[in-house]
């Protein structure tokens, strides 16, 4: 798939016409990051917008005690790094490749010029930022109010919404996060995640096959 074909399917740029897409494609450049490579480091200055073409990244923050909290896992078509481009302030979170990842990159000057020429992109960007803010609010609320089983279950449901594919018996996540990543997303420990997943499977709420996990439909649950 060419850059142009890919950009045409990115929701942020769906308002662009052919000529505008070609102009955007001309000013983007590609970089590949190996697994575990740091793409963005929190508090560093940033002048680049990233468009994820292939692979997956995690967006996280690290507490003063060294505890990582994963805010999001992003896949193909996702856009990140836009906040620093808009407000000129340092990056707000770390972004790390969790598998080999291809990114299209767009410099701040080109990005701002694009917004100036095509105001619809600003509206799309605001909608994306609002979605992320709601997700963050939901995570904070869950950490404060839900018990650990509910937090892990809520994380799985969120992953199913973002990455899942419909299956005959429910919604399948083909390559779920590791137990440690699920723990960092749910505010708990890897051992607790292992116990909760085993219990959910035993109760008939999920099926597991390696990294593949299916959230089963309610009418298939054990009674």
Given a contact cutoff of 8 angstroms between Cβ atoms, the answer to whether 155 and 199 are in contact is no
Assigned token pair, 125 = 């960007």
Is the confidence at residue 26, as pLDDT, over 80? yes
Q: Where are the domains of the chain?
A: 3-136, 146-220
pTM of the model: 0.75
* Model pLDDT for residues 29-44, shown as the tens digit of each residue: 999 999 999 999 988 8
Domain 3-136 top-level CATH class: mainly beta
Cα-flanking dihedrals φ and ψ of residue 39, to 5°?
-95, -45
CATH number of 146-220: 1.10.10.10
Looking up tokens 């429910």 gives 170
Residues, the chain: 223
* Model pLDDT for residues 138-195, shown as the tens digit of each residue: 776 666 667 889 889 988 988 888 888 888 888 999 888 899 999 998 889 999 999 9
């Amino acid at each position: 798939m060419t850059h142009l074909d890919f950009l045409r399917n990115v929701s942020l740029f769906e308002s662009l016409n052919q000529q505008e897409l070609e102009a955007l494609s001309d000013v983007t450049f590609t970089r590949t990051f190996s697994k575990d490579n740091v793409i963005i480091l929190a508090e560093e200055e940033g002048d680049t917008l990233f468009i994820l073409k292939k692979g997956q990244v995690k967006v996280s923050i690290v507490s003063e005690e060294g505890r990582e909290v994963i805010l999001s896992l992003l896949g193909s078509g996702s856009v990140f790094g836009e906040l620093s481009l808009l407000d000129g302030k340092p990056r707000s979170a770390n972004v790390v490749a969790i598998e080999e990842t291809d990114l299209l990159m767009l410099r701040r000057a080109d990005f701002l010029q694009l917004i100036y020429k095509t105001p619809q992109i600003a509206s799309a960007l605001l909608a994306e930022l609002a979605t992320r803010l709601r997700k963050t609010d939901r995570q904070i609320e869950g950490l404060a109010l839900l018990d650990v089983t509910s937090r892990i279950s809520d994380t799985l449901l969120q992953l199913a919404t973002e990455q899942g594919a419909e299956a005959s018996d429910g919604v399948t996540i083909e390559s779920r996060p590791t137990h440690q990543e699920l723990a960092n997303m749910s505010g708990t420990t890897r051992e607790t995640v292992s116990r909760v997943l085993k219990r959910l499977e035993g109760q008939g709420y999920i099926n597991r096959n390696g990294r593949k996990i299916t959230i089963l439909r309610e009418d298939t649950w054990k009674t």
